Amino acid sequence: MSLLARIADLGPFFAVQQHANPAPAPPWRRLVELVDNPAILADRIARTRAYLGAASGQDPAAIEPRVAASVTHLGMVARLISPALAAVVLEDRVPNLTLDQLHWQPVLGGTFPLSLPPIPPAGGDLHHELFDGPLPAIAQAFDLSDHILVGNVASAVNGAATALSNAAPTLATRARAVATALLDVPPLRDAHTSNPFRRRSCCLIYRAAPDHNGPLCGDCVLNKS
């Protein structure tokens, strides 16, 4: 079974497609547009805001822009991190996550279609690929505090490891080791506590509910349970 098929078996949030040159045809678009073109990112955040409003039975204007921005950012980084972490866990292979090499389809939801260039043979450094590559560039495009942005990344790493472990329990130890290697060094080291994992910031999603009184995520700093 191919690596892509093994990744897809873990669930839709991990599944990706693969493309070679030339780039895939529309409706595929280059993911780097979200970083390079403020209007495209603003449209994505506005669509997320409308989606959150509809899901909670509110006018989109009731959703704070920073809430929609945080949810958009968290969805983006989680969508990149999940298949990358899976590739390392499954075959110790690190995908090329250079933004201008990635393609997506701008549908709403965290599982938007994602296409990667061919994944190199075994080897590579996932921390380098993420933190010297797309994650800082994505963060700079958002008008959010570093506290929230880094917390979102930490949540995405922990969430990917948890989802992978649930989908394939025999890989749980390996998944947690890969996640820990990312979480225990800068910039994520100070963004969370461990055992259990708890981020030191809030993604703000609870504020999308009426009266800003929605449920808290299990890893939220505001969750005292």
- pLDDT digit string, tens, across residues 167-217: 999 999 999 999 999 999 999 999 999 989 999 999 999 999 999 889 999
129 in any annotated domain = yes
222 in any annotated domain = no
99 in any annotated domain = yes
> Does the pLDDT at position 5 exceed 80?
yes
127 in any annotated domain = yes
> Does the pLDDT at position 225 exceed 70?
no
What is the domain extent for residue 189? 3-212
pLDDT at residue 111 in the model: 87
Number of domains comprising the chain: 1
> Does the pLDDT at position 118 exceed 80?
yes
According to DSSP, the β-strands at 17-18 and 114-116 are: parallel
For residues 103-124, give the mean pLDDT.
90
115 in any annotated domain = yes
55 in any annotated domain = yes
> What rounded mean pLDDT belongs to the chain?
95
Give residue-wise pLDDT tens across range 135-165: 999 999 999 999 999 999 999 999 999 999 9
Contacts made by residues 191-196, CB under 8 angstroms, sequence distance 24+: 191/150, 191/151, 191/153, 191/154, 192/151, 192/154, 192/158, 192/219
- Dihedrals phi, psi of 80, to nearest 5 degrees: -80, -45
Establish whether the linkage from the previous residue to 187 is cis, with ω within 30° of 0.
Answer: yes
pLDDT at residue 84 in the model: 98
φ/ψ bin of 72: left (φ > 0), alpha (ψ from -120 to 50), beta (otherwise): alpha
219 in any annotated domain = no
217 in any annotated domain = no
In Å, the largest CA–CA distance within the chain is 51
For residues 48-60, give the mean pLDDT.
95
Give the bridge partners for 123, in sequence order.
93
Cβ–Cβ < 8 Å for 27, 105: yes
For residues 70-76, give the mean pLDDT.
97
CB environment 153-162: b (16+ within 10 A), e (fewer): bbbbbbbbbb
